[in-house]
Amino acid sequence: METYRNLYPELCSYDNLVLAWKRARKGKTKKDYVIKFESDLENNLQQLKHELETLVYLPAPLTTFIVRDPKTRRISASHFRDRVVHHALCNIIAPIFEKDFIHDSFANQKGKGTHMAIKRIEKFMRVVRVATPVGGGGAKIAV
Q: Report pTM.
A: 0.75
Residue 1 domain-assigned?
A: no
17 and 79 part of one domain: yes
Residue type (1 letter), 41: L
89 and 135 part of one domain: no
- The residue-averaged pLDDT of 73-99 equals 93
Secondary structure (DSSP) of 36-81: HHHHTHHHHHHHHHHHHHTT---PPPPEEEEEESSSEEEEEE--HH
Structural domain boundaries, residue 123: 103-143
pLDDT tens-digit readout, 116-128: 888 888 888 888 7
Q: Rounded to whole angstroms, how far apart are CA atoms 32 and 38?
A: 10
Identify the band that residue 69 occupies on the pLDDT scale cut at 50, 70 and 90. Answer: confident
Residue 35 domain-assigned?
A: yes
85 and 58 part of one domain: yes
Identify the band that residue 143 occupies on the pLDDT scale cut at 50, 70 and 90. Answer: very low
Domain count, the chain: 2
